[in-house]
Amino acid sequence: MNLKYNFLILCFALSSVIHAKTKVWLDYDLSFGKLGREVDDGFALIHALKSQKSLEIIGLSSVFGNTNNMKHQRRWSYKILDKFDARDIPFFDGAEKPLGEIKHNDATQAMARALEKEKLTIMAMGRLTNVALLLKLRPDLSSQIEQVIVNAGRMLEYPIKFGKKGIIFPDTNVDGDPDAFQVLSENSVNLTMIPTESMTHLLWRKRELRQMRENGGISRWMAKKAGLWRFFWSLFPGAPGFIPWDVFVVSFITHPEDFYCHQNIPWAVKEMENDAHTLFRKRYRKERKDFLVASYSLNSSHRGTYCYHIKSSHREKLIDYWNHF
């Protein structure tokens, strides 16, 4: 009897582990739905909502970046949530300005309340302002953060050049609030970097958008919203498609088998020559600026994960995933 009872307990425990969901908080600068603006945050939120069998979304929050219009971010977050009948997932307005210009906001207070209850993975797809402000106000909660996954970072040794023109993209999530990354470096945070390097071969071209339209449903809606953004990429940087940057921050959790990453790699925020394309240098008006860099040659006490490549098949896998789940 005891043997049978112990066996049932073991089976229940294993089932709980197998079906355990990753508890996540999504922090983004959603410009999805805004004419001629980036669509990647919308793709990322939709992918997360499609993945609720493996993700438990504890909260959503906005931050300035792709758009500083917080009303737009709230309105379109709710539009996407409504398509999944998911209004029970709470949304909070976050930072409208960089660290140093704000003292608190609804998002950081809500994150703090959530972290007081349980450990979370924070998917930070925009500026790190909300996360940094949280750590400044409540450094005691840093141990409650399983990891912060960011769409940022580069290898110290070399810049990543994109396309035939060899364009070097800026690290806009760092540029928009470099002080926020400094706060992360001052706290014991498990940082995972999903950088430009890993995804330059994963363009959403006419072919992919056509397949999404043919799939119908939410995929058709996504493709419709992304068409103009793909056209803009054909003008600059002259690419046949666009990179949906932020979706890979979420798919790193849902499809980890497709990511090749350096583990336990030193990282730091380091001032270096601004080698981004001249269009972006004019925007930030700096010859030198802070970069989030990773390298095994860095003399840094900070260790994290740096994903240097995503499988080419990942793109088709996501399109099929959105169609069937």
Percent of the chain with pLDDT over 90: 78
Measure the CA–CA gap between 204 and 314, rounded to whole angstroms: 12
From the list 130, 237, 233, the residue with the least C-alpha distance to 173 is: 130
136, containing H or E segment: helix 129-137
Judge whether 34 lies within some domain.
yes
Three-state secondary structure readout of 80-91:
HHHHCCCCCCCE
Decide: residue 291, CB within 10 A, 0-12 exposed, 13-18 middle, 19+ buried. buried
Measure the CA–CA gap between 145 and 138, rounded to whole angstroms: 12
Instruction: Detail the DSSP E strand segments found in the chain.
Output: 22-28, 55-62, 91-92, 120-124, 145-150, 154-155, 191-193, 204-205, 241-242, 259-273, 288-294, 303-310
pLDDT at 141 over 60: yes
Task: List pLDDT tens digits, range 155-205.
Answer: 998 888 898 888 888 889 999 999 999 899 899 899 999 999 999 999 999
From the list 84, 81, 92, the residue with the least C-alpha distance to 28 is: 92
Task: List pLDDT tens digits, range 285-303.
Answer: 678 888 999 999 999 999 9
Angle subtended at Cα 224 by Cα 317 and Cα 198, rounded to the nearest 5 degrees: 40
Q: What is the mean pLDDT of the chain?
A: 91
Judge whether 69 lies within some domain.
yes
Measure the CA–CA gap between 214 and 320, rounded to whole angstroms: 11
Is the backbone peptide bond immediately before 237 cis, with ω within 30 degrees of 0? yes
pLDDT at 12: 44
Q: How confident is the model at residue 2 (pLDDT cuts 50, 70, 90)?
A: low
Domain that holds residue 110: 2-205+244-308
Judge whether 319 lies within some domain.
no
pLDDT at 116 over 80: yes
Q: How confident is the model at residue 100 (pLDDT cuts 50, 70, 90)?
A: confident
Judge whether 227 lies within some domain.
no
Count of Cβ atoms closer than 10 Å to residue 193 Cβ: 27
Judge whether 258 lies within some domain.
yes
Number of domains in the chain: 1
Task: List pLDDT tens digits, range 17-34.
Answer: 445 899 999 999 999 999
Judge whether 126 lies within some domain.
yes
Q: Say which CATH number the domain at 191 has.
A: 3.90.245.10
What backbone phi and psi angles, to 5 degrees, belong to 170? -75, 165
Average pLDDT over residues 25-52: 96
Judge whether 239 lies within some domain.
no
pLDDT at 262: 98
State the DSSP string of 191-231. Answer: EEE--GGGTTT--EEHHHHHHHHHH-HHHHHHHHHHHHHHH
Judge whether 40 lies within some domain.
yes
